[in-house]
Amino acid sequence: MQHDATLKVDNLTVDLLTSKTAVRPVDGVSYSVRKGECLAIVGESGSGKTVMNFAPLGLMPAGVSTELSGSVKFNGRELIGLEDGELRHIRGKSIGFIFQDPMSALNPVRRIGRQIAEMAELHLGLSPSAAEARALELIKLVGIPDPEARLRQYPHELSGGLRQRVVIAIALAGEPKLLIADEPTTALDVTVQAQILRLLKDLRKRLDMAMILITHDMGVVASSADDIVVMYAARAVERGPVEEVLTQPRHPYTRALINAIPKSSDTVGTRFRGLSGMPPILGAPNPGCAFAPRCDLAVAECRHTRPLMSQATHSTVRFACPIANTESEIHGTGTCS
């Protein structure tokens, strides 16, 4: 069981149907994350990175009918096709969530302590007084100073960093095996971000949890994650160990994305490197490669043949660009490791 994945996603496709439109925000994506490890999912808005994590757990807006295909196994149990009641037992208990904005994730009119204790009562079946004790333990665990006093406070009395720590404490209340953090530091300052990243890393190791970190910040990925999935327009374009993907990106989109990050070696006043064009608008699945209109390597075939994920030469990295893959074989750029 040691090597079994905590979460294993295979060929997941999500279709969203409203009364007027049908879109496919996730199209045939596979990834997995093991105990104690952190998987980063990177992509721009609309790339499907959030939907892909929330739809299989039944977290979708009302009024939208969601169709899932493929497989999502959590500790060996298939989640697709589960009744909502069963999903509710998993959500928040075995799988904890951290959202981007700690203010809207907390109830503004209830004390911090009650909000944490409530989760312990619900998921662990503790008595109210045992749950209060558990809340105190949790608030100490996430490193909030003066814990007893904080339990009696309301969210508005705390700073952004402390609020996010409270959100983390709530996520941990059910003793989750998997923590899904959706942009957990985007709303925070860099100095506070550093503290939260440190805390998450520390908790993951101490509690031996698997973690999925949804982000768009490659700096956050570099400091926290073991593996990475890069999403573009509903599909995974590259997947592999962070060390390799960030230092030696293979897919043209990943390359351009990493190249676009300002470096401390860039001369002041020089132009910013970026991508031309715009990300595609979510709609019907693209028959070819969605990145083709913005890609330097694109050939005519890219527009109508869907690129499949394939393994890079001498590497565990997989990426979806046959053009770059052949190129690396010819020039041997994929072999230096």
Partner 1 sequence: MAQAPVLKVENLSTRFKTGQRGKFVHAVDDVSIELRSGEIVGLVGESGCGKSTLGRTIVGLEKAHTGKVFLDGVELNRLNGREARERRRAVQYVFQDPYSSLNDRQTIGETIEEALLIGGLRSREERAAQITKLLDQVGLASVVKDRYSRELSGGQRQRAAIARSLAVNPRVLICDEPVSALDLSIRAQVMNLFLDLRKELDVAILFIAHDLGLVRQASSRVYVMYLGKIVEHGPSQELYDNPSHPYSQFLLSSVPEADPTTERDRELPMLAGELPSPVDPPSGCRFRTRCPLVADRCSLHLPEPATVSPAHSSACIRAREMHAKRRSIFVEHRAA
Q: What string of DSSP letters covers 55-97?
A: GGGT---TT-EEEEEEEEEETTEE-TT--HHHHHHHBTTTEEE
Q: Which secondary-structure segment (H or E) carries 6?
A: strand 5-17
- Tell me the pairing of strands 318-319 and 178-182: unpaired
Least Å from the CB of residue 247 to partner 1: 7
Q: Which residues bind partner 1 (CB under 8 A)?
A: 44-45, 159-162, 189-195, 197-198, 216-223, 242-243, 246-247, 256-258, 260-264, 266, 268-276, 278-279
Other beta carbons within 10 Å of 187: 17
Least Å from the CB of residue 157 to partner 1: 12
If the CB atoms of residues 39 and 57 are measured against partner 1, the closer one turns out to be 39
If the CB atoms of residues 34 and 201 are measured against partner 1, the closer one turns out to be 201
Least Å from the CB of residue 66 to partner 1: 24
The Cα–Cα gap between 9 and 118 comes to 31
Structure-block tokens of residue 131: 């749950």
If the CB atoms of residues 69 and 159 are measured against partner 1, the closer one turns out to be 159
- For 125, how many CA atoms within 13 A lie in the half-sphere containing its CB? 1
CA angle 114, 117, 123 (to 5 degrees): 140
Least Å from the CB of residue 276 to partner 1: 8
If the CB atoms of residues 258 and 309 are measured against partner 1, the closer one turns out to be 258
If the CB atoms of residues 19 and 191 are measured against partner 1, the closer one turns out to be 191
The Cα–Cα gap between 106 and 170 comes to 10
Least Å from the CB of residue 219 to partner 1: 4
Residue 163 · residue 85 · CB < 8 Å: no
Task: Using only the alpha carbons of the chain, give its radius of gyration.
Answer: 21
If the CB atoms of residues 129 and 270 are measured against partner 1, the closer one turns out to be 270
If the CB atoms of residues 89 and 273 are measured against partner 1, the closer one turns out to be 273
Could you give the 3-state DSSP secondary structure of residue 307?
A: coil
DSSP 48: S
Least Å from the CB of residue 142 to partner 1: 15
If the CB atoms of residues 76 and 277 are measured against partner 1, the closer one turns out to be 277
Q: Give all strands (DSSP E) within 220-260, no chain letters.
A: 227-232, 235-241
Least Å from the CB of residue 68 to partner 1: 26
The Cα–Cα gap between 121 and 138 comes to 13
If the CB atoms of residues 19 and 276 are measured against partner 1, the closer one turns out to be 276
Residue 183 · residue 214 · CB < 8 Å: yes
The Cα–Cα gap between 189 and 160 comes to 9
Residue with tokens 């327009």: 233
CA angle 81, 229, 191 (to 5 degrees): 115
Least Å from the CB of residue 200 to partner 1: 11
Least Å from the CB of residue 254 to partner 1: 11
